[in-house]
């Protein structure tokens, strides 16, 4: 692939390299537990264990909402997370969320917050007190004055200058006598802005003692727009950029994390797991691996991008083309994301795939009662779906029926893929359920291992 390095991307590449270097120097510190690896729970938003759970909603309503969140999420990837001083104000529905929440404690003494775990963004942030405009939520605001480990970053610090390269000199200090480093992080249709700081985070580990992450860079949001549910108060960025939890953990987790997502609509009461470090190693005979394409200078390093070569439906195979991930990254790229329910494909390719799938199914087509999904069938006892195989570069992934089809009601089953006219391609979380999925950001590989995630 011809790499045309423009000035901007080279600059951001250099910035990120420097930030990583700084993170190394500031002595981000760990307890012994982290060098062994640790695991935490991920709770699906539609699980009864989730604060999002609305018992009065019926299954088909939940799926209709998941469909619409998938569409909203596409716009998040089209105008991806950016640090900027001058974000346009927007009260549009926040599409930058994600489907899983994670409990994390913050500060000393620590306060538990419920945050969205998001593989599509980098910053770790929470709403702080005082807040000039916060996203409405019943969760108490984090009070940095009550924490002995909270340390705001100075606007003269190197890190602060890097995240606001063009405006640091004019806007820093923001007010006379106040040198706090201000940030603004946009999610396409929402944003958080406030103070950048270092703080202690505590993750309750699945096994053994809690994991303490000292001097973690966080955003203390004081002007945030978007939507949260009543108990949520922040986002944990798990992307590939320098300020994400994964990158900040860095060498202590050898750049590795993995997750195993339980099919949330089939097993609503079972939590999924996320693993870091040694716990995140994915091994065994059934493992297949594909390169993570973060090395392209024109790709923002936040996203986890894979090379998708083709998709097969039983014996018929069609080559994948036509995706536009970044304006300059066109071809056969696809973002893997835990925060998008459906798999999204460029419409021309989707149409071909849908007709292959339809050609293999002998049952009666019906329309989706909610009019969201394109291809739905009435379920009868002899109903059989074709075998769909996703051919990533070096990794053929056979989807189970529940990865490609979803029942919207007792009688209706729909194809869980959707088209995007703008050429976006996202490998969504329904397709990822019941696979242990390992990200190795050092070797730059992504591994799939078919697994029963409810027993992991």
Ligand X SMILES: *[C@@H]1O[C@H](CO)[C@@H](O)[C@H](O)[C@H]1NC(C)=O
Nearer to ligand X, 157 or 454 (CB): 454
Return the number of other C-beta atoms located less than 10 Å from residue 110's C-beta.
Answer: 17
Which one of 118, 224, 368, 440 is the catalytic residue? 118
Nearer to ligand X, 36 or 317 (CB): 317
Nearest distance from residue 392's CB to ligand X, in Å?
Answer: 13
User: Which CB atom, from 24 or from 140, has the smaller least distance to ligand X?
Assistant: 140
Residues 6+ apart with CB under 8 A from 216: 28, 124, 198, 199, 200, 201, 245, 248
Number of residues located near ligand X, criterion CB under 6 A: 9
Q: How far is the CB of 279 from ligand X (least distance, A)?
A: 17
| Of 103, 409, 445, 456, the one binding ligand X by CB under 6 A | 103
Which residue from 131, 231, 400, 402 is in contact with ligand X, where contact means CB under 6 A?
Answer: 231
Indicate the SS3 state at residue 174.
coil
Among 269, 351, 365, 367, binds ligand X (CB under 6 A): 269
CB of 47 or CB of 149, closer to ligand X: 47
Which tokens in the block code for residue 372?
A: 């969201």
268 belongs to the binding site for ligand X (CB under 6 A): yes
Closest distance to ligand X from the beta carbon of 270 (Å): 9
Give the count of alpha carbons within 13 A of 146, CB side only: 11
User: Could you please report the per-residue DSSP string of 185-219?
Assistant: EE-SS-EEEEEEEEEEEEE--SSSSPEEEEEEEEE
The verdict on 230 binding ligand X (CB under 6 A) reads no
Residue 368: Cβ within 10 Å count: 18
Tokens of 195: 């103070």
Catalytic residue selected from 122, 195, 337, 420: 337
User: What is the distance between the alpha carbons of residues 200 and 180, in angstroms, rounded to a whole number?
Assistant: 18
Nearest CB to ligand X, comparing residues 40 and 72:
40
**Residue 195 found at the interface with ligand X (CB under 6 A):** no
Q: CA angle, corner 82, sides to 236 and 79, nearest 5?
A: 105
Could you say which of 3, 24, 48, 58 contacts ligand X (CB under 6 A)? 48
Residue 358 DSSP label: H
Q: Which of residues 307-336 bind ligand X (CB under 6 A)?
A: 319
Pairing of strands 343-346, 333-336: unpaired
452 is catalytic: no
User: Which residue from 112, 178, 421, 452 is in contact with ligand X, where contact means CB under 6 A?
Assistant: 112
Contact call for residue 114 and ligand X (CB under 6 A): yes
Nearer to ligand X, 103 or 108 (CB): 103
| CB closer to ligand X out of 61 and 112 | 112
The alpha carbons of the chain give a radius of gyration, in whole angstroms, of: 22
- Please give the backbone phi and psi of residue 187, each rounded to the nearest 5 degrees, phi first: -120, 30
- Binder of ligand X out of 23, 34, 41, 256 (CB under 6 A): 41
Q: b or e along 175-193 (b: 16 or more beta carbons within 10 Å of the residue's beta carbon)? A: eeeebbbbbbbbbbbbbbb
Residue 57 engages ligand X in binding (rule: CB under 6 A):
no
- Distance separating alpha carbons of residues 174 and 160, to the nearest angstrom: 12
CA distance 33 to 60: 42
- CB–CB of 339/98 below 8 Å? yes
Smallest distance, ligand X to C-beta of residue 233, A: 10
The yes-or-no answer on residue 337 being catalytic is yes
Question: Least Å distance between CB 257 and ligand X?
Answer: 18
Q: What is the largest CA-CA distance in the chain?
A: 74
Q: Shortest gap between Cβ of 314 and ligand X (angstroms)?
A: 17
Minimum distance, C-beta of residue 319 to ligand X, in the bound complex (Å)? 4
Beta strand segments in 208-362, E? 211-225, 232-237, 256-260, 272-276, 288-291, 305-313, 316-319, 323-326, 329-331, 333-336, 343-346
- Nearer CB in complex with ligand X: 232/368: 232
Shortest reach from residue 349's CB to ligand X, in Å: 12
Active site residues: 118, 337
Which spans of this chain sit near ligand X (rule: CB under 6 A)? 41, 48, 103, 112, 114, 231, 268-269, 319
């Amino acid at each position: 692939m011809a790499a045309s390095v423009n000035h901007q991307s080279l600059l951001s590449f250099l910035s990120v390299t420097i930030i990583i270097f700084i993170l190394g120097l500031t002595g981000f510190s760990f307890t012994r537990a982290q060098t062994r690896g640790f695991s935490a729970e991920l709770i699906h938003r539609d699980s009864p264990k989730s604060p999002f759970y609305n018992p009065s909603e019926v299954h088909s309503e939940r799926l209709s909402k998941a469909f619409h969140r998938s569409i909203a999420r596409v716009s998040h990837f089209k105008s991806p997370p950016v640090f900027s001083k001058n974000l346009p104000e927007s009260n549009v529905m926040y599409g930058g969320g994600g489907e899983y929440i994670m409990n994390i404690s913050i500060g000393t003494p620590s306060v538990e917050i419920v945050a969205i775990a998001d593989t599509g963004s980098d910053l770790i942030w929470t709403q702080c007190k005082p807040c000039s405009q916060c996203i409405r939520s019943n969760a108490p605001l984090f009070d940095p004055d009550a924490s002995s480990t909270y340390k705001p970053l100075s606007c003269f610090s190197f890190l602060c200058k890097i995240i606001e390269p063009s405006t640091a000199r004019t806007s820093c200090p923001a007010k006379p006598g106040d040198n706090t480093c201000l940030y603004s992080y946009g999610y396409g249709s929402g944003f958080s802005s406030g103070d950048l700081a270092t703080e202690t985070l505590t993750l309750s580990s699945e096994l053994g003692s809690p994991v303490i992450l000292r001097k973690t860079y966080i955003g203390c949001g004081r002007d945030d727009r978007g939507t949260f549910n009543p108990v949520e108060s922040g986002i944990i960025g798990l992307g590939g950029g320098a300020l994400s939890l994964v990158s900040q953990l860095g060498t202590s987790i050898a750049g590795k994390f993995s997750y195993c997502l339980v099919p949330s609509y089939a097993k609503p009461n079972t939590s999924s797991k996320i693993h870091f470090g040694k716990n995140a190693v994915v091994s065994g005979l059934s493992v297949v691996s594909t390169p993570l394409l973060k090395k392209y200078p024109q790709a923002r390093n936040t996203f986890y991008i894979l090379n998708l070569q083709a998709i097969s439906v039983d014996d018929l195979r069609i080559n994948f083309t036509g995706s536009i991930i970044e304006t300059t990254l066109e071809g056969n790229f696809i973002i893997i994301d835990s925060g998008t329910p459906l798999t999204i494909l460029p419409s021309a390719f989707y149409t071909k795939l849908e007709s292959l799938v339809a050609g293999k199914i002998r049952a009666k087509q019906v329309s989706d009662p909610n009019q969201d999904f394109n291809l739905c069938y009435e379920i009868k006892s002899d109903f059989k779906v074709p075998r769909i195989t996703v051919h990533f570069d070096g990794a053929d992934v056979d989807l189970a029926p529940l990865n490609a089809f979803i029942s919207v009601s007792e009688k209706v089953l729909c194809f869980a893929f959707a088209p995007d006219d703008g050429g976006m391609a996202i490998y969504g979380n329904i397709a990822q359920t019941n696979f242990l999925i390992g990200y190795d950001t050092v070797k730059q590989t992504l591994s799939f291992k078919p697994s029963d995630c409810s027993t992991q």
